[in-house]
């Protein structure tokens, strides 16, 4: 399956990719536990200690249970892409996503090994048939579960075509100057982050 994955990846994206050609060292059907609807030991012990008050709800009771891992690999990848102020994609079925992990661009197809990846500023693209939508994400995390569900959490994300190249150039120049004149470690770190984000935006626009 992963042989095919790498072929698909290299065919659909021209630019060199850090493709995941992982040998499946462990069984594919590592179940993501269907989150228990109620942690019953908790509410039992709660009722023992505090019989007068109802136990508080816990987050899992508000969540739709995630699907169990199918024995065969589904054809589509289910993507949840969330930001603090919006859910960009909610349970959308797509062919592939490419996320900017700190270790390099990472393509995710259905049946990917379960992975936790930290994201760096860069372009996340969502491939759906022939349509490719590109977002610039600032940072965050991506979780890929065994049941072909990928969760991407970003602090900020905008479609790439919403970026203004003039402002990006200006910001890049600003932060490069700041990095040169920074005296303390904190200032240096802040300027470095600015430079990193702006150069990532710049390469997103030009590349």
Partner 1 sequence: MAMAALRREGRRFAGSLTAPQPMSAIRSAIVSEEQVPLGVRSISTQIVRNRMKSVRNIQKITKAMKMVAASKLRAIQTRAENSRGLWQPFTALLGDTPGVEVKKNVIVTISSDKGLCGGINSTSVKISRAIHKLTSGPEKEVKYVILGEKAKAQLMRDSKKDIELCITELQKNPLNYTQVAVLADDILKNVEFDALRIVFNKFQSVVAFLPTMSTVLSPEVVEREAEAGGTLGALDSYEIEGGETKGEILQNLAEFQFSCVMFNAVLENACSEQGARMSAMDSSSRNAGDMLDRLTIFYNRTRQASITTELIEIISGASALEG
Q: Under the rule (CB under 8 A), what is the footprint of partner 1?
A: 22, 26, 30-33, 35-36, 39, 41-42, 45-46, 49-50, 53-54, 56-60, 62-63, 66, 80, 82-87, 90, 101-103, 106, 113-118, 120, 140-141, 143, 145-146, 149, 151, 153, 155
Cα distances (Å, whole numbers) of residue 77 to 80, 123, 145, 177: 10, 19, 10, 43
What is the rounded distance in angstroms from the CA atom of residue 205 to the CA atom of residue 121? 13
Q: Which residue lies nearer to partner 1 by CB, 35 or 203?
A: 35
Q: How far is the CB of 147 from partner 1 (least distance, A)?
A: 10
68's CB contacts (< 8 A; 6+ apart) are: 31, 32, 34, 147
DSSP 14: -
Q: How far is the CB of 14 from partner 1 (least distance, A)?
A: 23
Q: How far is the CB of 133 from partner 1 (least distance, A)?
A: 18
Q: How far is the CB of 180 from partner 1 (least distance, A)?
A: 26
What is the rounded distance in angstroms from the CA atom of residue 180 to the CA atom of residue 191? 9
């Amino acid at each position: 399956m992963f042989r095919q994955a790498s072929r698909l990846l290299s065919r659909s994206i021209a630019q060199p990719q850090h493709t995941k050609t992982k040998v499946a060292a462990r069984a594919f059907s590592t179940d993501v536990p269907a989150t228990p609807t109620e942690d019953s030991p908790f509410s039992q012990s709660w009722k023992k200690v505090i019989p007068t008050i109802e136990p508080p709800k816990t987050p899992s009771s508000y969540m739709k249970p995630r699907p169990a891992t199918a024995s065969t690999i589904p054809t589509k990848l289910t993507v949840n892409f969330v930001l603090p102020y919006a859910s960009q994609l909610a349970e959308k079925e797509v062919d592939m996503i490419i996320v900017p992990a700190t270790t390099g661009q990472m393509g995710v197809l259905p049946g990917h090994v379960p992975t936790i990846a930290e994201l760096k500023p860069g372009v996340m693209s969502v491939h759906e048939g022939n349509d490719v939508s590109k977002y610039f994400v600032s940072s965050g995390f991506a979780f890929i579960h065994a049941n072909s569900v990928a969760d991407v959490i970003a602090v900020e994300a905008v479609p790439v075509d919403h970026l203004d190249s003039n402002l990006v150039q200006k910001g890049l120049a600003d932060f490069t100057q700041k990095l040169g004149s920074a005296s303390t470690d904190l200032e240096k770190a802040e300027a470095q982050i600015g430079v990193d984000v702006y150069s990532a935006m710049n390469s997103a626009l030009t590349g």
